[in-house]
Structure 1
Amino acid sequence: MTPDIQTARKLAQDHCDAWTNKAPDQVASRYSENTTMIMNGGEPMNSRSQIGEMATGFMTEFPDLVLNLDTVLVADHHMVYAWTFEGQHKDTGNKVRFSGWEEWDLDENLNVTKSLGWYDGADYDRQVSGT
């Protein structure tokens, strides 16, 4: 199935809602069994469990996190969604707000087979540390 823009927007909104609702299993369930996720050119995550662990880490560090959907683009089985992350870091108490995007390749069931994501990691680190 090739998603239309409304379907792609719903996929992205449901994904953002899973983050905001602190549901790492729902975040991970968006990905296919054989998936690859790479953020900022880092080490790839190659399983739903690794993606769930990453989501759990952010949810633990930011108990009040909100992930807002900014925009969605779609073409064939490829979509891009832009987001804004907001929350207060549990250890430093600093409020953090940063934006990024992910490019998703989708299978016939609209699960993510490959995700490439980007955000300004240096800005994120500055905000967390308060410098």
Structure 2
Amino acid sequence: MKTKFSSVTMIAIILAMITGCKSGNTEYDKMVQFGQKYTDAWNSKQPETMASFYADDGMLTVNNGKPAVGRRQLAETAQSYMEAFPDIELTMDSLTVGNGTYRYYWTFKGTNTGPGGTGNKVDFSGFEEWTMNDQGLVQKSIGTYDAEYYQRQLEGNK
């Protein structure tokens, strides 16, 4: 017996086979939702909310700098960006899966009008590479962005 499929159905089947997707409830889909909620937490301007996405002893290192370890230090790190850029607007660009990790790609926009700010706008992108714990929280995040480009924007020299 032959079965007929529409071209749209065939395309959906082929895409599901290629990507390994199951209808909307895969681990990847859950991580995309996690990433969007993490983005929302940054935009909430509540540093403790951002830190809640990390394990109690979670760690964030940005551009090989000093790591923020634990939720208190993570919240302090978030607070420093939120104060420096009161109009912070973070967007999630994409999320990819690596060898036991996820890469959360983002774009950060804001005006440096916080205490001691330059008044200049920044618009830069980067990513965080996440290692998750068994509770589904970030255990380790290694963040990267072009610090020279960011600094030029802060100084008004795009």
Q: Could you say which TM-score interval applies, normalised by the shorter chain? A: over 0.9
Partner of 2:125: 99
Cα RMSD over matched residues? 1.4
Matched residue pairs, number? 129
Runs of 4+ in 1 over 6 A off after TM superposition: none
Q: In the alignment, which residue of structure 2 is the partner of 1:45? A: 68
Superposition TM-score, scaled by structure 1 size = 0.93
The amino acid that maps onto 2:85 is: F
Partner of 2:134: 108
**Aligned mates of 2:101, 2:135 — CA distance in 1:** 13
Amino acid at match of 2:41: A
* Residue type at the aligned position of 1:83: W
Note the residue ranges of structure 1 that are not aligned, 5 or more in a row: none
* Structure holding more strand per residue: 1
Read off the aligned partner of 1:100 and give its amino acid letter.
G
Shift of 1:20: 1.0
* Conserved 8 A contact 1:77-1:107: no
Q: How many percent identity over aligned positions?
A: 38
What displacement does 1:76 show?
Answer: 7.2
Between structure 1 and structure 2, the one with the greater Rg is 2
How far the C-alpha of 1:74 sits from its partner, in A, is 2.5
Q: Structure 1 residues 122, 76: CA separation in 2 closer, same or farther (over 3 Å shift)?
A: closer
Cα-to-partner distance string for 1:59-117 (whole Å, 9 max, x where unaligned)? 00101011000000135752111000001110221110000000101111111111101
Higher relative contact order (CA 8 A, sep 6+): 1
Q: TM-score of the superposition, structure 2-length normalised?
A: 0.77
